[in-house]
Amino acid sequence: MENYYDYLKSLHLIFVITWFAGLFYIVRLFVYQIEAADKPSPEKEILQNQYRIMTYRLWYIITWPSAILASIFAFWMLFFTDRGNIWLEFSWMHVKLGFVFVLYLYHLKCHQIFKQLQKDEVRYTTNFMRLWNEGATIILFAVVFLVILKSAVNWIFGVIGIFLFSVLIMLGFRFYKRIRERNR
């Protein structure tokens, strides 16, 4: 099995990328669906139907399969290869797996929002969705830095960095919101 480790790692990385792509785009589509709910008829119904189809295809053809396949390959690498067993001994991997758990929670919450919007139930604002979209970005940054630097010793600095990065995103969001409001 060790001979296939790099193939497993490559497949895992490919499906992590497509999983994140799906998560980034699905929330953007949620924003569009929520905005469509405020449009007059028949534009509202036309847009909502189109966005329902787009989100359905993205969610079930790309995002869910990518999440499942990324998880299968990760599990395979961690538990059925010698290198994976070694990785589990490092504290940075435990922190990374904690962020992966948060990613699963984020994914499941997106699934809940997806199901609501498929039934035309709008429970969130577009501003909330724009901020929610940054959640996957923060998780991505955390995981990539942990994997590349392989250091959980400095995880406190990492958490501070992620917090500061989040603050910058919030400030950027507010700045963008003001520009949008002025241009209306």
Query: How many Å is the Cα radius of gyration of the chain?
Result: 19
Place of tokens 């963008």: 176
Q: Are 150 and 30 in contact (CB under 8 A)?
A: no
Cα gap 101→39, rounded to integer Å:
37
How many residues in the chain? Answer: 184
Cα gap 8→119, rounded to integer Å:
38
Task: Label residue 149 left, alpha or beta by phi (over 0 means left) and psi (-120 to 50 means alpha).
Answer: alpha
Cα–Cα distances (Å) from 14 to 19, 134, 178, in that order, read: 9, 21, 37
User: Which is nearest to 184 in space by CA: 3, 35, 18?
Assistant: 35
| Residue 12 is assigned to a ligand binding site | yes
Which residues participate in the annotated binding site? 12, 96
Which residues participate in the annotated binding site for heme? 12, 96
